Structure 1
Amino acid sequence: MNVVLPAPGEPLRMVAVHAHPDDESSKGAGSTARYAREGVEVTVITCTGGERGDILNPKLRGNAEIEADLPAVRREEMARAQEILGVQHEWLGFEDSGLPSGDPLPPLPEGSFATIPVQEAARPLVEAVRRLRPHVMTTYDENGGYPHPDHIQVHRISMAAFDLAADPEFAPELGEPWAIAKLYYINAFHRQRFAAIARYLREEGQPNEELEDMLLHFDERTDRLLTTRVDVRDYLQVRDDALRAHATQVDPEGPFFRIAHDVDTHAWGTDDYELRISRIGVELPETDLFAGIRHEEPERAQPEEGGWLDLVRSEGHESSSDGEGR
């Protein structure tokens, strides 16, 4: 399989695949904003329009104008968030599946994103990959980050498109084959980060009871593997501004915004990823999604001994060059 790396002077390219408008601003937003400002061609691909979402901002509930056409409002919110992040954006065009509840769970709406066979649903993503020719793709893990059917479907079609886009025998009408060099899972909400922040606050004499209670619900045995941590300390405000642009979807006083930037900067300060598949040789851990792809590696903050570098080493993933990320 021919992996084409960028020529000298050619821009780096990445696609970030997400389920709904607002996901791009709550998962990996700091790193996409950083890369866009560094000259990387970053494209966010949103699979659905969020048509079956709710109004989660208590200050906007009951707003008749918003409720009359929530999908249109969410498209406007997405456009504002895109501008703030500085990325390109494409809709994949599928219909939100909603988040079913009840016992037993009701069937998903017919024709919604999560009900479509994976290879069929992957076709527009294959077309986008072949046209955009990214060097890196980011997506969700096998559990979707959380078990929303659309998030799980994002994982499935991303994995399928990673393979199918490179297969010259698959759907030649969708464009020339393109082999993405590296595929990452976004590890946005994980115990390690929250534990580090809670520990820092305790050491500063400012324990956060809400955070401590939340940590009781995590199981260390299910910690995600963090192979790659991108320094986003200078982009925390951009991340928050992009998320607030999705005004119907977030409470501006809610838990997303309760960790002060100076606390996050001192205690953690990175967007975290798991390198799941690499078609080039890699050395872990990384501080850059484009490690091994760039012609000139930028100077980036290095992890401190006793911190996340040791965490990765303890998992037995200090380095790899056999083409697999784990």
Structure 2
Amino acid sequence: MFRGKKIAVVIPVHNEEKFILSVIRDIPEYVDFVCIVDDASTDGTFSILEKIDDPRIHCFRNESNLGVGGATKRGYVESLKLGCDVVVKADGDGQMPMHCLEKLIEPVCLNECSYAKGNRFLDHSGLETMPALRFLGNIILTFCNKFASGYWHIFDPQNGFTAICAKTLEEIDLDKVHNRFFFENDMLLNLNINSSRVRDVSIPTLYGNEESDIRIMKIVFTFPFLFMKRFARRVVQKYILLNFSPIALFLIAGFILDAWGLFFGLFHWYLSIKTGIPATTGTVMLSVLPFILGFQLILQAIVLDIQETPA
């Protein structure tokens, strides 16, 4: 136990036979339960897990590969069954320093927040070892997540080293959380709908010889659609269904006006090129003014959304 709270660590693994033993070895003694979910590994990962003699460790195996999110969600469910108070999620590749676990779970145990997550960007020394492409990708995805999730003070949303209060976890409909690499982003989106308090914790990441299963092109073609879809769901649920807010009105009106201004302007620009006759001043204004007004409404909605961030 830690500060009177039962702690569970969930570790989703897929083909981690080289790293899983060292990860388990580094888990602090105060951790009460370790739920390891083998996500249909094709190497010797599960055979290694079966041989571990530690009463804290509970091993589960998915017959088919559900993805990191699917495996983590199963671990979450099993941890709640064990009666834990705080659930930590850590990957099985050894990138998450277990000596920082106390720093991660402390704000949750002290009820300072409902969800704590690692932030590699707060530890400047660790940034030097982060691959350049991953650094750039994290920056872009962070700003996309800020807009979609509504947690404007949170950075590095892809960080998989997290801790969540059991009561908060029980309030989340895990069936609506993404099963694969969008999982960490999706957790933040669902937490915001419930107005849960989230905090960043400075946690360095250890980069070694592990190989990531993330494919850049898959992220490029899937994440933007997922961000837009989750953003729309958050606005509808939080600002229309739960408590009607001017934020929803500003966003809807802003996007309609921007769409009108953009397509009306492009249409008449095309006509001007085709006919050789320049558009009149009035036609140009019918495009520009709605676009500017719509942009201002969206900016105002963003400002109000920032003020609504759970403190």
Q: What band does the TM-score fall into relative to the shorter chain?
A: under 0.3
Higher relative contact order (CA 8 A, sep 6+): 1
* TM-score, length basis structure 1: 0.24
